[in-house]
Structure 1
């Protein structure tokens, strides 16, 4: 037999084994696993990433450094994940802003096609809140107040993402008009909300909770599927007025597209195991965020559904996609 042909035949089993090992994610991890957080330090996504990094490092036997790569509402850091090799060594921890950004920006990646989805990490409801002296105390009273006044006279503070778009869905379903007042962040909006210069806000529970507990703001409703543990006496909007209404922020671990299924399952197992540690659950509860996990398939389905939901809200609000950055 030709020596070259014989060498090729002999190497075929080795090549087959190599391909099979690659498909199953063998060899992971062989170096540090970068966890990209595409936001500034201190937010729920950043805290979650840092909480799970140590148990993930113990499980996988390699360091899991957390890197904050903020900019363009998360687009810059997320793009790093999109362009990484699909070997599990670069992951990202994104928020609901990942699907929402598709409505606000012309993106350098495809929100669905360019990513693998590992697991949800948390869910955090919004709270519909207003100044202590605001004329309405319930969602129904708010709607009645809006209908008594000239259309659009009532204002809502909005920042970005779901905080900007949840009131749009609420107003449409309630049959009222609200006027949007833009702020760069919750800390900029709160003084005007507390003073009554702007009427209402759909803010995250962690951001608004201190002001609600102090009495500076009052909570009319929360927007999760169930009541927020931090505000057990406050009904959900679905309970109080609009059955089926739900609007939450969430966190999710993602990776680049085409991570082999066996490796994706291993990543999911590691992330879910870390998140379910009692001390990590307790820390998130303190933050007002509920630890929530999901399969890769359910994670992908959620992102697709959220893209459709918030995309429709953005179009209703007249949002025109801009260049990111």
Structure 2
């Protein structure tokens, strides 16, 4: 057989092999991790901690890009509109489903994304000034029924909606007092000018440890490692109640199956890196990973839960800025 004949016969096989190699050779360039929040928060820290083991596994740089604005909408939109090839990821929080209850979004919360894995879960803590009489969720409910006008400090997002969800489930009425952030709310809470707050454990922990505030309950699926003696709302009053902040890795919709599988496996491995686990422990965040299908179902359930709470709170949709 002539050389040209052999080459002609071999060409289709070579082409198929080249295509298969190209499809399997992920990543082929640096993989950017978009964090749609300002530097220094849990999502930003998680992304930067993941970047090192992912870069080592992939042999490619994993630059973290902060694209803050509109409570995460701007950066999340960057992920939604990126090429679905796995080279753009996002590290988002519970704000992803919650934002659908507050904003007219430039993307669809479910349809426009591939869900890679959950990364963390951080419970809230129901806290109050030492002078506030109730010490348990049941006592709070009884107090609110006998004393209309119990107030809660809220800073937006899940910190605003968690008390609404609690009130819905217990049949009480709570009055919302808005604040721009925890640091603005805490002085009024400590002084008793506002009655309760569902804050993140890391934000409230120092005040609880100093005795300025008391912890009535936490809101995770299990007790907080930082407040192990404080019962959860679920175990003390409302089975199944959960209102946590959390993180997850997302990518644009339409990601090829093999790429999604590799991203999932490698991101889970990165989150289980001992250095990553220990750093999150100091932040009060539990490592929680999940497969793409169960994560999609979880996000859909969060979207429904927080949407119902927002409607109960009378939240009106705004344009994302």
Which category describes the TM-score, using the shorter chain as reference length? over 0.9
Counterparts in 2 of 1:312 and 1:64: CA distance versus 1, 3 Å: same
1:184 aligns with 2:160: no
Partner of 1:164: 160
- Report the aligned-residue RMSD: 1.8
Tell me the secondary structure at the aligned position of residue 78 of structure 1.
Answer: helix
Moved over 3 A (4+): 9-22
Partner of 2:83: 85
Alpha-carbon distance between aligned partners in 2 of 1:278 and 1:55, rounded to the nearest angstrom: 11
* 1:169-212: CA deviation from partner (whole Å, max 9, x where unpaired): 10111111000011111111111111111110001111111111
Partner of 1:50: 48
Comparing 243-252 with 11-20, greater Cα deviation is found at 11-20
Q: Normalising by structure 2, what TM-score? A: 0.94
- The answer as to whether partners of 2:24 and 2:258 remain within 8 angstroms in 1 is no
Partner of 2:142: 144
Alpha-carbon distance between aligned partners in 1 of 2:138 and 2:106, rounded to the nearest angstrom: 42
Alpha-carbon distance between aligned partners in 1 of 2:315 and 2:159, rounded to the nearest angstrom: 14
Partner of 1:41: 39
1:26 is displaced (CA, Å) by 2.2
Alignment of structure 1 residues 1-325 onto 2, 5 Å: 25-150=23-148, 153-325=149-321
- The answer as to whether partners of 2:30 and 2:87 remain within 8 angstroms in 1 is yes
1:19 is displaced (CA, Å) by 6.0
1:27 is displaced (CA, Å) by 2.9
1:302 is displaced (CA, Å) by 1.0
Q: Normalising by structure 1, what TM-score? A: 0.93
Partner of 2:6: none
Alpha-carbon distance between aligned partners in 1 of 2:296 and 2:156, rounded to the nearest angstrom: 23
Tell me the secondary structure at the aligned position of residue 304 of structure 2.
Answer: helix
1:20 is displaced (CA, Å) by 5.2
Counterparts in 2 of 1:314 and 1:18: CA distance versus 1, 3 Å: farther
Tell me the secondary structure at the aligned position of residue 301 of structure 1.
Answer: helix
- The answer as to whether partners of 2:101 and 2:310 remain within 8 angstroms in 1 is yes
- The answer as to whether partners of 2:151 and 2:177 remain within 8 angstroms in 1 is yes
The runs of 5 or more residues in structure 1 that have no matched partner are: 1-8
The size of the alignment, in residue pairs, is 315
The runs of 5 or more residues in structure 2 that have no matched partner are: 1-8
Counterparts in 2 of 1:16 and 1:107: CA distance versus 1, 3 Å: farther
